[in-house]
Amino acid sequence: MSKFYVTTPIYYVNDVPHIGHAYTTIAADILARYHRQRGDDVFFLTGTDEHGNPAAQAAARRGLSPQQHVDEMVVKFKALAEQVNATNDFFIRTTDSEHCAKVQAFIQNLYEQGDIYRKSYRGLYCSSCEAFYAEKDLVAGKCPDHGTEPQMVEEENYFFRLSRYRERILDHLERHPDFIMPESRFNEARSFITRGLEDISISRASLQWGVPIPWDESQVVYVWVDALLNYITALQYAREEDLLERFWPVDYHLMGKDILKFHAVIWPAMLFAAGMELPRHLFIHGYLLMGGEKMSKTRGNVLDPFQVMDKYGVDPFRFYCFREVIFGQDGVVSLEGFENRYNSELANDLGNLLSRTLAMIHKYRGGVLPDPPPDSGGELSAAATVLAEQLAASMSRVDLSGSLELIWRFVRSLNKYVEDMAPWKLAKDQERSLDLDAALYNLAEGLRLCAIFLHPYMPDTTLEMLRQLGITPGSSELQLQRAEWGRRSGGASVQPGKPLFPRLD
RNA sequence: GGCGGUGUAGCUCAGCUGGUUAGAGCAGCGGAAUCAUAAUCCGCGUGUCGCAGGUUCGAGUCCUGCCACCGCUACCA
């Protein structure tokens, strides 16, 4: 058994939860569930980033304290995780007192070992970005992101000796070509690190809503330093015992490209400074695009994830996101696309396959799964074995969409098998009773494996599949080990139920 | 401006280190079947493989230039 630690970024509470948050969280959940199926010791972390100026300002506008404000906002993100059926092992908030204390201890340590120094700094500061801008980066004198005019501020700040770690980071990239995935992001990161790194200010004097610098409480820790440390601190207080030893380092940090730099530069440098192991992989996924300029509500190609989940269920939505868009690339999603996939693949290919299989077992064998005649697995059992191997390979590359493609080829082969065997003909011929047994068993067995393989993607629906197949789905039934052809004998009563995925019209 | 990427059937995309008639899914058309959520299965695609050159016995697959779009990054104003 090995351990598996996967994270989403912590989401900034001032955002409204959107499809991007859902996408990352679902991806992490798929990985977490998959590794649990393998029997790995899994820790799946998500949470919220709650410090910083925007949150403080929003609170002020509402006449609330920052704490009151974030306490309200965090609810939406917890609800999101629940809504997408995420099995996160912990939900961290950067306002947790334990987190704050650990952040202080972390930077105190860096300070004492000389990685942090004091320096006065003067520049144009955008308080929304919490970042300094050079004149040249401004658009018409205003912040390119916020359209507001930055203030000239002069602060005594604490600086982290980022430049000191450039060589080590580059060396690490050299030795670990899969540190940043996909490859294009790796190259991108290497190129900007190669260009050179400057020390960064890691404190803010003009702010109160943050973690105080322990040796100088007039300043607070820069939000990104605060935020990145969540990946460590969560392990230290999520449970009674400290889980750091058990789960560190992170196996996969999932994120969008907008925060690659922080994770590829500041984060490794911080870990080097602390003498800690670096994450095994950063995986940068793409954006789900909503049809771009052709977006039009009347054309039905806008996709509101919450509307889709409410109307069609979480599982079809989870499936669609990873079926439609190659994980790691940008892709266009739309309601129309969702409905097409839903009907052709979920309703027609998979749902209907289950229905017809169970109906035939019911009609020809009184609802009892026949025992398989000896050596009757044939090509299907061979295909299932190959599939299991291919899936292991594609999941190890975090190719979530490629895995679904592999599974779907198998689903199609099962539908083809029905036509080839034509059980309705076999049923008319007493002589071919064993052939009918084999056909029915093989279909049920193929579906059982599909349910196991698809479980990380569609957790609820696959449990229902197993139930209808006559399997009481305890967690051991979902283990990947069980996804071996023929591990089930006949005798169970199938339980045909409502269609798994009713067709949309 | 620099670096990198992309451009293949109506749509979404596969095509690794160059080699038989360029593939898949969807959509469309025709047929078979009737177990099933009228679902399934079978058949049907002469596509300037962005454009123009080049290397090669042979290039979608390598080289050069160009065009379009995207990402990162720099700079002028």
Taking only the tens place, the pLDDT of each residue in A102-115 is 999 999 999 999 99
Tokens of A154: 């002069």
Supply the residues of A annotated as catalytic.
Answer: 18, 21, 126, 129, 143, 146, 294, 297
**Residue whose token pair is 């982290």:** A160
Q: Kindly report the backbone phi and psi dihedral angles of residue A8, in degrees, each rounded to the nearest multiple of 5, phi listed first.
A: -100, 165
CA atom of A332 to C1′ atom of B10, Å: 18
What three-state secondary structure class fits A47?
Answer: strand
Query: Distance between CA atoms of A203 and A119, rounded to whole angstroms?
Result: 11
A162 CA to B45 C1' in angstroms comes to 57
Q: Does the pLDDT value for residue A301 go beyond 60?
A: no
Strand B nucleotides, any atom under 7 Å to a protein CB: 2-5, 12-14, 25-27, 33-42, 71-73, 75-77
Residue A447: burial class (beta carbons within 10 Å; 0-12, 13-18, 19+): buried
| pLDDT surpasses 70 at A145 | no
In this model, does residue A374 exceed pLDDT 70?
yes
> Which nucleotide has the least CA–C1' distance to A417?
B41
At a 7 A CB cut-off, the residues bordering strand B are A 136, 184, 187-188, 191-192, 195, 257, 261, 326, 329, 331-332, 340, 344, 347-352, 354-356, 359-360, 363, 412, 415-416, 418-419, 422-425, 499-503
Q: How far is the CA of A292 from the C1' of B48 (A)?
A: 29
Please tell me the distance from the alpha carbon of residue A411 to that of residue A16, in angstroms, as a whole number: 38
Tokens of A48: 């919220």
Amino acid letter, A366: G
Q: Which nucleotide is the nearest neighbour of A360, by CA and C1'?
A: B35
Residue nearest to nucleotide B5 (CA to C1'): A184
pLDDT tens string A164-210: 999 999 999 988 888 998 888 888 888 888 887 889 889 988 778 99
Nearest-angstrom CA–CA distance, A422 and A416: 10
pLDDT reported for residue A484: 93
Distance A385 CA to B64 C1' (A): 48
- Which nucleotide is nearest to A423 if distance is taken from CA to C1'? B35
For A35-42, what is the mean pLDDT?
A: 96
The separation, in Å, between residue A176 CA and nucleotide B4 C1' comes to 20
Name the residue closest to B13, CA to C1': A326
**pLDDT given at position A127:** 67
Distance B61 C1' – A174 CA (angstroms):
28
CA/C1' separation A348–B69 (Å): 36
Name residue A180's beta-bridge partners.
A282
The position carrying tokens 């289950």 is A354
A253 beta partners: A7, A282
- Smallest CA-to-CA distance from A10 within A281, A239, A241, A230 is with A230
Looking at the C1' of nucleotide B41, which residue has the nearest alpha carbon? A419
ipTM field: 0.89
Is residue A196 helix, strand or coil? Answer: coil
Which nucleotide, over all strands, has the C1' atom closest to the CA of A344? B26
Yes or no: say if A223 and A103 are a contact pair by the CB < 8 Å rule. Answer: no
Which nucleotide lies nearest residue A140, CA to C1'? B77
- For residues A481 and A492, give the distance between their C-alpha atoms in angstroms, rounded to a whole number: 20
Is the pLDDT score of A300 beyond 50? no
User: In this structure, are residues A214 and A104 in contact, taking their beta carbons and an 8 Å threshold?
Assistant: yes
pLDDT beyond 50 at A298: no
Identify the helix (H) or strand (E) that includes residue A359: helix A352-365
Cα radius of gyration rounded to whole Å, chain A:
26
Sign, Cα dihedral of A140, A142, A148, A149: negative
Mean pLDDT computed over every residue of chain A = 89
**Using CA atoms, how far apart are residues A302 and A292, in angstroms rounded to an integer?**
9
Determine the Cα–Cα distance for residues A442 and A372; give it in Å rounded to an integer. 8
Q: Residue A109 has which token pair? A: 């340590």
Give the closest nucleotide to A138 (alpha carbon vs C1').
B77
Name beta bridge partners: A7: A45, A253
